[in-house]
Amino acid sequence: MPRIARCLRCAAWLLAPLLAGAGEKAREQSPAKLIERLGDTSCAARDEAFEALVALGEKAVPALQKAEKHPDAEVRLRAATALHRIHWQIGPKLAARIGDLMHAFERRPIGDREMVCRDLAMVGLSDSVPTLKRVLATDPSNAVRQAAARALVLLGDEGLAALLEAGVKTDGLNPYTVAVRIHLGNSHLERSEYDKALEQYKKALELEPKNSIALYNVACTYSRMKKLEEALDALERCIEAGYRDVGWMEKDPDLDNLRDEPRYKALVRRLHEKDE
């Protein structure tokens, strides 16, 4: 099968420029059409269709499963590889870095799978987060799941955020758990996902009830929700916890809904008095 061998030798770095176009193709073409292009005479076209199928994720799985029985060996191989990438959430950047590190992962001994988790973090860095989350969610071995959790911790805030989103208890694993909760809350707030933002801030406050940053962000969230009394209560607690940046508070657009409130004006006066 010389055509397969040639394609497998395509340098990973050559795929990167194709990915932007592949994303567009994924939106424009059905999985069935993309499967047809897996057997194209052009290697570039095959690569583009392959990455587009991977980008489609679960939507492409039924068509790819059918393609595993395609008469063209090239199509069968690429379909199986795409299914593997989708299952393990391996993006193009991670694929270029790790090669076949995840090959037959689920059939390897437990010790090998533990080492793969460590290697994913070391080689794949932040691009390995989705794959480690998948291991954490699906591996039958508690030891391997723990290895995936440790690998995510090694990746810092982004890895911890993934653990928190996966519902894994991280207390004691890393001193920055509160900061990660606040970071997640900020991400939700930026997307106007107010309930999710409040959930993260409140979890941070369960660990540090007088964290002025979390309290300030709770005030911002309630203000944007136009729940003015709740916002003012949080802002008052924030100031009692030590918040002093009245300059930022007065220009922060998140607090615009509070400007005309007498309680807000009183809090501003109190902060100015403390600065004198």
In what helix (H) or strand (E) does residue 191 lie, and over which residues does it extend?
Answer: none
- Evaluate whether 219 touches 261 at the Cβ level (below 8 Å): no
- Evaluate whether 90 touches 102 at the Cβ level (below 8 Å): yes
Position 275 scores a pLDDT of: 67
Mean pLDDT within 215-244 = 96
On whether both 253 and 191 belong to a single domain, the answer is yes
Kindly report the CATH number assigned to the domain that includes residue 184.
1.25.40.10
Distance of alpha carbon 53 from alpha carbon 46, whole angstroms: 11
| Domain of 38, in residue numbers | 2-87
SS3 at position 72 = coil
For residue 14, pLDDT over 50 is answered with no
Do the domain assignments include residue 94?
A: no
On whether both 156 and 182 belong to a single domain, the answer is no
Position 153 scores a pLDDT of: 79
DSSP string spanning 196-253? Answer: HHHHHHHHHHHH-TT-HHHHHHHHHHHHHTT-HHHHHHHHHHHHHTT---HHHHHH-G
- Evaluate whether 54 touches 82 at the Cβ level (below 8 Å): yes
Number of structural domains the chain divides into: 3
SS3 at position 97 = helix
| Tens of pLDDT, residues 205-227 | 998 899 999 999 999 999 999 99
